[in-house]
Homo-oligomer: A and B are copies of this chain.
Amino acid sequence: MISTDNIRNGVNVDQLVGTIEAVQGNPELAKFEFRAKTDWIEGGHCRTSAKGFYGVCQEDETRQETFTMEADHPEVLLGKDKAPTPAEIVLHGLGSCLTGALMYHAAAHGIDIECMETKLEGNCDLHGFLGLDPNVRKGFEGINVTFKVKSDATEEQLLELAKFSPVYDIVTNPTPVSINFAK
């Protein structure tokens, strides 16, 4: 029997179209909540775990694995260099989200992507983090992203598709963060 799955860029286009139609029929299906728990180990070394999430009107029961991710700092930033820095983790989140968004939306538009790699650079000035100059921001002053994509689509088209990325939105626009203390 021949498979009739409509796969483009590794994305199941039938399932993607089905998801869009389902959300159009019931807007509540589109609400997702992602969660993580970060445990402090020592200094700037942490371990985060992520498993449960909410989506399509229910708590997820399909994910089997609890994903763990670590963060640390190199020696020059007073760490033991056991894991990437939070700054590099943000670049990873941005790079993978831009890539995923481009692939999903390209698939929906019938655009084939042969291969893709993305370089990311984020610049910061420690005067901000160290509290030495209130006019210097603590985070990245800016992020440079360079796409290397093999596709028949134009760069303008690909850029437009990538910008559907949720993490691109989180980084480029203000996202409210509310911090509370557990009693």
Which residues from chain A sit less than 8 Å from chain B, CB to CB?
9-12, 15-16, 19-20, 23-24, 27, 29-46, 48, 50, 53, 55-56, 60, 62-65, 67, 69, 71, 73-78, 81, 83-101, 103-105, 113, 115-132, 137-149, 155, 158-159, 162, 164-182
Partner of A86, one of B60, B83, B97: B97
What chain B residues lie within 8 Å of A122 (beta carbons)? 33-35
The interface residues of chain A, by DSSP majority, are classed as mixed
In the complex, the answer to whether B74 meets A126 with C-beta atoms within 8 Å is no
Shortest CB distance A11–B (Å): 5
Chain B residues within 8 Å of A170, by CB: 90, 139-140, 171
Report which of B116, B144, B166 forms a contact with A87, defined as CB distance below 8 A: B166
Q: Are B50 and A175 in contact (CB under 8 A)?
A: no
B81 with A38: CB separation less than 8 A? no
Across the interface, which residues of B come within 8 angstroms of A42, CB to CB?
A: 9-10
The answer to whether A181 touches B130 (Cβ under 8 A) is no
A73-B91 contact in complex given A138-B165, A146-B182, C-beta closer than 8 Å: no
Determine whether the beta carbon of A36 is less than 8 Å from that of B120.
Answer: yes
Q: Per a CB cutoff under 8 Å, which of B38, B55, B175 touches A92?
A: B38
From the candidates B11, B34, B88, B139, name the one contacting A67 in the complex (CB within 8 A). Answer: B88
Q: By the criterion CB–CB under 8 Å, are A166 and B92 in contact?
A: no
